Structure 1
Amino acid sequence: MSGRWSLRRRLGLWLTLSVAALWLAAATVAGLVLQHEIDEVFDSALQEVAQRVLPLAYSELLAREDGAGAHHMPPVGPHREFITYVVRDAQGRVLLQSSDAEQMAIPAGLAPGFHTTPHLRTYTEAAVRGTVIVTTAEELDHRAAAVWRAVMALIWPLVALVPIALAGVWLTLRLTLKPVLAFRHAIAARGRGNLAPVPEQGLPEEMAPVAGAVNALMERLRGALEAERGFAANSAHELRTPIAAALAQTQRLVAELPEGPAQERARTIAGALRRLSRLSEKLLQLAKAEGAGLLAEAPVPLAPVLRHVIADLDRQTGRAEDIDLSIAAEGGPVSDLDPDAFAVLARNLIENALKHGAPDTPVQVRLTADRLDISNHGPVVPAERMAQLLRPFERGPTGAEGSGLGLAIAAAICRGAGLVLEIASPIPGETEGFSAVVRFTEPENLTAS
């Protein structure tokens, strides 16, 4: 799997993270504003409680008997006091206090107004020339808890929002990028001899120039390839007739000349003409391999084609006994590779193995449901030369005659048909030899069905 992230995944992730970050930032700002507002509301409550308690406390003190001590105001019912108060005289003696005032330990000697201690927020109000002092108090933890609950009420929906936003963003991007994905698949489908223009319908405005550039590039590439293939094919085709005529005349000349240097020179010319004829045939095969028409309209079995190729080689060279053929019991692969293209592919690989293999060992030809494996014994090809063997006119360390086009033709057919060609030297599991493996893909129409 590729380490790159798709555009859909990147946009989906970043949009979801952006929404979550904006939500958190909004919750933070809302929390700060809420804290300021809560401080104002609770400060107002402290002040209002002090101002209401002060005249009531003064009346209570006047109604008491002399010498009465601190008086606790009992609660009306069981509840928790968030705001408590204490009434003191000028000397700091407690005259009156609410039921939970002792638990808060409200400090004495505070000047009138608001004060903040490490644990409390207080408000102090004095009356009767400073002889009656009322201090109201609230725990700071109560305020912090109120702010925290409010902020969490804003943050908790984010837990449900993130997967919902991610699903919504993913669905939106899927629908929005559907033309782009179709464009990508259309480009990926090009190859295997298909250089048709890519459809531009439905693409976003930003992608339309890309599609136009791709189509223009493929048009130039198609023109260049057609010109190159046309030149090779025409040259090879036009050379066939004069080469064949020259070879026939040379062979007649060999038959008519007496034994001697002249006849030997004629034989040399005939051999050169035969090599030139084979080279022109290989060039024509290479031109066809690099062109279109490598795929059949319907999948066909390849085993009969391989048997026909070997029978044809035997008729021309008489070397069928040098080929050890093995076809899987199920009958070999069924592929959408064109039978003629497979015949050219198999013939070049087998001819290459016969030509460069050890003369006293047979060429192994194995055809299974997913691969064609051809191997021959012989000297090991250096690793630095292996990749070069798939190029035209490149040859390994051998003294055998050849044009250096066999593997290049096979590689061109595999590239154009979407197959995989693997070459190795030595043969896997052995110490010498050369192997070529063609791996077949499942036909598209069989996959679709």
Structure 2
Amino acid sequence: MRIPLPRSIQGRLALGLCLGLALLWIAASVAALEALRRRMDEVFDSALQETAQRILPLAVMEIIDRGEGGAQRVASAEPHRERVAYVVRDEAGRTVLQSHDADAADFPDHPPLGFSSTHAARYYAETALQGSLTIVMAEPLEGRRHAVAQAARALAMPLLLVLVPLGFVGAWLLVRASMAPVRGLCAEIETRGGGDLRPLGADGLPTEIEPIAAAIDQLMERLRRALDAERNFAARSAHELRTPIAAALAQTQRLLAETHDDATRERALQVEDTMRRLARLAEKLMQLARAEGGRLLTEQPADCVPVLRVIADDLRRSTGLGDRLMLELPDAPVLTRLDPDALSILVRNLVENGARHGAPDEPVRVSLASDGVLRVVSAGPVVPADRLASLTKPFERGPTSARGSGLGLAIADAIARGARARLTLHSPATDRPDGFEARVSLAEPGPAGAAPTRRR
């Protein structure tokens, strides 16, 4: 059966260190117990021998004074269990003296002199009076085994109750502290914006992590070069197209002014319309390259309320929305690090999208809450939920007959991602049965107080 391992490196290292420490403790305990057992055997054997040597002269005197007679059992002052028993035998093997708790049947008939053992007891035999008397000492091995078991429990209890829990916690904390540079590297990568491809750097990283950071830096450098090449191509292509498109549009307008033929004039109007669409597409492509090119955030946050006023005034003039564009701003400042130029492109594309695809006789509402949430709401039919998620892709359009490039929401989404925010689309709009709503947060992270809004 395979034991499941923790998925994290921290868990595996902590578990490995704890198990290794436990195994070392067990091995050391086994070695210590073996050394202790041998030392205990030496001590018990020495005590058994010294006891025999002390009892034997006393037993000889007792037997000589008593003279001939049967076996005599030494009387005990009070009943107790003997840990060491003995018997004294004559030349014929008859028992002439024994301790009060001794059973002659438990003693071997002809034990060898010195030490000997059975499974149940340890024996020591010694002779006196030129071998006419033999004393046999017997000690049950149960006592020795019990002492070894107590020592084993004394060594195991710290392992189970202290070493394993504290060792695991200590190993976990040690590994967690050692993994701090890895977490810092992950946090650095996670906090990067979509266009932030600066090198991570290997300062302060452990030697084992430096190759990973270097490989990530190389990958980001290759990615940066590829993205720069793609963006530069799109931006330069759109920029180079502006001049010939403008020239063709000017020639078309001159042809319209000079021609009097209805058929030619109709074709010239179609060419003019196509040229204008190409000009708008080139402008959107440049905006998309700007949105995906990074550098969308400023070093210091600034109040975006005045910027939105200027953007709204310009939109009213340039798009012909006039009073259809309704702006709601808070009285208190709302700080954001989004570059004003990027903010202008974001709001312009959201407003143009709402005006172009919304109901022509309904207002387009732009509101900024005190918490920095920007909302652009327009009336119109409900967009199916399965189409909302795809509208932020380039050249994706909803179910509409209005003209457009399909890049407006893609540009707004690219700016939001580059600003570490998120563009969300809702249909129907909040508190409406229909309509379309685009929502994005502009505020600098931090507490935001409630502030009333004023309508303009």
Common topology (TM > 0.5)? yes
Cα distance, 1:338 vs. partner?
0.9
Cα distance, 1:57 vs. partner?
2.5
Per the alignment, do residues 435 and 85 of structure 1 end up closer, same or farther by CA in structure 2, a change over 3 Å counting?
same
d(CA) in 2 for partners of 1:225, 1:107: 99
SS at match of 1:391: coil
Moved more, 349-358 or 183-192: 183-192
Cα distance, 1:268 vs. partner?
1.8
SS at match of 1:72: coil
d(CA) in 1 for partners of 2:443, 2:30: 57
8 Å CA contact 2:381, 2:434 repeated in 1: yes
What is the match of residue 335 of structure 1? 336
5+ unaligned residues in a row in structure 1: which ranges? none
Residue type of the alignment partner of 2:335? V
d(CA) in 1 for partners of 2:236, 2:104: 108
Cα distance, 1:309 vs. partner?
2.2
5+ unaligned residues in a row in structure 2: which ranges? 1-5, 449-456
Cα distance, 1:386 vs. partner?
3.2
8 Å CA contact 1:16, 1:162 repeated in 2: yes
Cα distance, 1:415 vs. partner?
1.9
Identity %: 47
SS at match of 2:241: helix
1:275-331 CA-to-partner distances (Å, cap 9, x unmatched) read 111111111110100112201121012222223222222112332443443334544
Per the alignment, do residues 14 and 421 of structure 1 end up closer, same or farther by CA in structure 2, a change over 3 Å counting?
farther
Per the alignment, do residues 169 and 109 of structure 1 end up closer, same or farther by CA in structure 2, a change over 3 Å counting?
closer
SS at match of 2:197: coil
RMSD: 3.8
Per the alignment, do residues 303 and 126 of structure 1 end up closer, same or farther by CA in structure 2, a change over 3 Å counting?
same
SS at match of 1:336: strand
SS at match of 1:273: helix
Matching residue within 263, 268, 271 for 2:270: 268
What is the match of residue 304 of structure 1? 306
8 Å CA contact 2:87, 2:104 repeated in 1: no
Calculate the TM-score normalised by the size of structure 2: 0.79
Matching residue within 71, 93, 96 for 2:74: 71
Calculate the TM-score normalised by the size of structure 1: 0.80
What is the match of residue 114 of structure 1? 117
Moved more, 24-33 or 291-300: 24-33
8 Å CA contact 1:411, 1:421 repeated in 2: yes
What is the match of residue 244 of structure 2? 242
What is the match of residue 412 of structure 2? 410
1:198-237 CA-to-partner distances (Å, cap 9, x unmatched) read 3234544444433333222222211111111111111222
SS at match of 2:366: strand
Moved more, 412-421 or 317-326: 317-326
8 Å CA contact 2:395, 2:405 repeated in 1: yes
Residue type of the alignment partner of 2:353? N
SS at match of 1:389: coil
d(CA) in 2 for partners of 1:340, 1:404: 21
Residue type of the alignment partner of 1:398? T
What is the match of residue 227 of structure 2? 225
What is the match of residue 83 of structure 1? 83
What is the match of residue 34 of structure 1? 36
d(CA) in 1 for partners of 2:32, 2:147: 13
d(CA) in 2 for partners of 1:33, 1:440: 74
SS at match of 2:266: helix
Per the alignment, do residues 145 and 433 of structure 1 end up closer, same or farther by CA in structure 2, a change over 3 Å counting?
farther
SS at match of 1:116: coil
8 Å CA contact 2:421, 2:442 repeated in 1: yes
Per the alignment, do residues 69 and 137 of structure 1 end up closer, same or farther by CA in structure 2, a change over 3 Å counting?
same
d(CA) in 1 for partners of 2:132, 2:372: 104
What is the match of residue 217 of structure 2? 215
8 Å CA contact 1:421, 1:437 repeated in 2: yes
SS at match of 2:383: coil
User: What is the 5 A alignment of 1:12-23?
Assistant: 12-23=14-25
What is the match of residue 376 of structure 1? 378
Per the alignment, do residues 170 and 401 of structure 1 end up closer, same or farther by CA in structure 2, a change over 3 Å counting?
same
What is the match of residue 201 of structure 2? 199
Per the alignment, do residues 313 and 126 of structure 1 end up closer, same or farther by CA in structure 2, a change over 3 Å counting?
same
Q: How many residues align?
A: 430
d(CA) in 1 for partners of 2:211, 2:35: 49
Residue type of the alignment partner of 2:13? L
Per the alignment, do residues 49 and 322 of structure 1 end up closer, same or farther by CA in structure 2, a change over 3 Å counting?
farther
Cα distance, 1:73 vs. partner?
4.6
SS at match of 2:414: helix
Residue type of the alignment partner of 1:270? E
Per the alignment, do residues 145 and 412 of structure 1 end up closer, same or farther by CA in structure 2, a change over 3 Å counting?
same
8 Å CA contact 2:316, 2:325 repeated in 1: no
Per the alignment, do residues 308 and 94 of structure 1 end up closer, same or farther by CA in structure 2, a change over 3 Å counting?
farther
What is the match of residue 143 of structure 1? 144
Per the alignment, do residues 413 and 197 of structure 1 end up closer, same or farther by CA in structure 2, a change over 3 Å counting?
same
What is the match of residue 442 of structure 1? 444
Per the alignment, do residues 157 and 431 of structure 1 end up closer, same or farther by CA in structure 2, a change over 3 Å counting?
same
8 Å CA contact 1:92, 1:109 repeated in 2: no
